[in-house]
């Protein structure tokens, strides 16, 4: 019995070590290392509540362990009958009042922070991005700029950027843990909140509301660049020529195939109201394919041949003419060279 228990203890210790080694999770994904205003406010509150709660826990455990050691039935005391205590008003008042005080300590900052983060007064003079959630991808429309992106959002560092969010189908949640807490993307009421990033970088965003088979694959990226880079990026995105001829001959063929195979029915290149599929402008600079896969030719061909294999339940599968491998490769060639700006995630990382 003893040795067996020892093994379990050793095992769980190992587990904890592993946890500490793996640290607080992946940088720019974890909420434990906040890099934006919203995430920081939340983190402050998380720390405050954790500390208060640990104090309470310590008190409970101290009494608990003391009681267990001190008042266990002892040998020879089988017939001992303890005093039957009814209660104690003073004590009971103490443990009613102290928790109330502790809760006030938590409640006040909670309320202040709630109002702080809900503040939208600066929205009208800030960058506004309309977010639409789709099963299982994200669409971003930069208000007043006449261009759209999908999956990747570029924003400037150190500025409040407002997101106005609506869903086109079921409920999604817009969550970029390192930058800010999450907010629902509902089909009815538009929800607004802002992100203010402290550092440049590529941040992982996730859909946190259960939205169907590929819920776990509905990632997006927030790419935070410097103010100048952002302005450059906006200028480039506004000047995209959707009909520009690609350089390589294969890509030219790919472009034709793209047009022939009804891809345009759902995907726009350049600014367009079409939104049944992700906008593919600047596709070659995407961080990932379909939000989750590495962006390379092989994976892209795989996607074009059978998107279901990568994202179950997605709305592209079976809604376009079946492609053969050669055509898929040509289209891939075309899509991957769609690079409409020099501002990429690398700009953010430098």
Partner 1 sequence: MSIAATQKKGVGAFIWEYLTTVDHKKIAHLYLVAGGFFFLLGGLEALIIRIQLISPENDFITAGLYNEMITMHGTTMIFFAAMPILLGLMNAVMPLQIGARDVAFPFINSLGFWLFFFGGVMLNVSWFTGAPDAGWTAYAPLSTTSPGHGVDYYILGLQISGAGTLMGGINFLVTIVNMRAPGMTYMRMPLFTWTTFIASTLILFAFPALTVGLFLLMFDRMFGSAFFDVALGGNSIIWQHLFWIFGHPEVYILILPAFGIFSDIFPTFAKKRLFGYTAMVFATVLIAFLGFMVWAHHMFTVGMGPFANSIFAIATMAIAVPTGIKIFNWLLTLWGGSITINSAMLWSLAFIPSFTIGGMTGIMVAASVADYQYHDTYFVIAHFHYVIVGGVVFGILAALHYWWPKMFGRVLNEFMGKLAFWTFFIGFHLTFFIQHFLGLMGMPRRYWVFLEDQGLDTGNYISTIGAFFMTFGVLVFLYNAIYSWVKGEKAPADPWGGRTLEWAIPSPPPFYNFKQLPLVRGLDPLWIEKTEGNGKMTPAEPLGDIHMPNNSIIPFIMSLGFFIAGFGFIYQTDYNAAYILLFGGMAIALGSMLVRSLKDDHGYHITKEELEREAD
Smallest Cα–Cα separation from 191: which of 161, 163, 154? 163
Q: What's the Cα-to-Cα distance from 190 to each of 121, 133, 143, 202, rounded to whole Å? A: 16, 12, 15, 26
| Contact code string over 285-304 relative to partner 1, x by CB under 8 A | -------x------------
CB-based contacts of 292: which residues, under 8 Å, 6+ apart? 217, 219, 310, 311
By a kind-dependent CB cut-off of 5 to 8 A, residue 172 interacts, out of Cu ion, ligand HEC, partner 1, none, with Cu ion
The interface region with partner 1, picked from 181-189, 251-259, 269-277, 340-348 by CB under 8 A, is 181-189
Give the whole-angstrom CA distance, residue 155 versus residue 196: 9
The interface region with ligand HEC, picked from 77-85, 87-95, 97-105, 310-318 by CB under 6 A, is 310-318
Closer of 74 and 125 to partner 1 (Cβ) = 74
Q: Does 225 bind Cu ion (CB under 5 A)?
A: no
CB-based contacts of 34: which residues, under 8 Å, 6+ apart? 40, 42, 43, 178, 179
Q: How far is the CB of 266 from ligand HEC (least distance, A)?
A: 3
Terminal-to-terminal C-alpha distance of the chain: 57
Positions 137 through 196 that interact with ligand HEC (CB under 6 A): 137, 150-151
The interface region with ligand HEC, picked from 92-100, 168-176, 238-246, 257-265 by CB under 6 A, is 257-265
CB-based contacts of 69: which residues, under 8 Å, 6+ apart? none
| Contact code string over 46-85 relative to partner 1, x by CB under 8 A | x--xx-xxx-xx--xx-xx--xx--xxxx--x--xxxxxx
Decide if 211 contacts 185 (C-beta within 8 A).
no
Q: How far is the CB of 198 from partner 1 (least distance, A)?
A: 16
Token digits for 160? 């409040």
Q: How far is the CB of 157 from partner 1 (least distance, A)?
A: 21
Q: How far is the CB of 113 from partner 1 (least distance, A)?
A: 4
């Amino acid at each position: 019995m003893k040795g067996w228990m020892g093994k379990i203890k050793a095992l769980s210790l190992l587990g904890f070590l592993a946890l500490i080694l793996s640290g607080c999770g992946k940088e720019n994904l974890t909420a434990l290392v906040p890099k934006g205003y919203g995430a920081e406010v939340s983190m402050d509150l998380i720390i405050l509540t954790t500390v208060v709660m640990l104090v309470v826990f310590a008190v409970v455990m101290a009494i608990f362990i003391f009681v267990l050691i001190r008042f266990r039935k002892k040998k020879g005391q089988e017939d001992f009958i303890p005093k039957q205590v009814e209660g104690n008003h003073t004590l009971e008042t103490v443990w009613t009042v102290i928790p109330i005080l502790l809760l006030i300590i938590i409640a006040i900052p909670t309320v202040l922070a709630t109002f702080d983060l809900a503040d939208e007064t600066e929205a009208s003079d800030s960058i506004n991005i309309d977010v639409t959630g789709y099963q299982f991808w994200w669409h971003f429309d930069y208000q007043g700029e006449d261009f759209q992106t999908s999956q990747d959002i570029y924003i400037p560092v150190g500025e409040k950027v407002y997101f106005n969010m609506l869903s086109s189908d079921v409920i999604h949640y817009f969550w970029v843990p390192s930058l800010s807490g999450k907010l629902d993307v509902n089909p009815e009421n538009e929800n607004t909140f802002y992100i203010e990033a402290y550092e440049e970088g590529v941040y992982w965003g996730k859909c946190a509301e259960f939205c169907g088979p590929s819920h776990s694959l509905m990632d997006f990226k927030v790419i935070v660049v410097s103010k100048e880079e952002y302005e450059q990026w906006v200028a480039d995105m506004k000047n995209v020529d959707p009909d520009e001829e690609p350089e390589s001959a294969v890509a030219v063929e790919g472009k034709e195939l793209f047009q022939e195979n009804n891809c345009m029915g759902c995907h726009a290149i350049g600014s367009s109201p079409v939104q049944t599929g992700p906008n593919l402008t600047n596709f070659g600079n995407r961080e990932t394919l379909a939000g989750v896969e590495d962006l390379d030719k092989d994976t892209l061909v795989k996607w074009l041949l059978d998107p279901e294999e990568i994202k179950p339940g997605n709305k592209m599968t079976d809604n376009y003419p079946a492609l053969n491998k050669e055509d898929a490769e040509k289209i891939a060639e075309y899509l991957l060279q769609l690079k409409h700006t020099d501002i990429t995630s690398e700009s953010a990382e430098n």
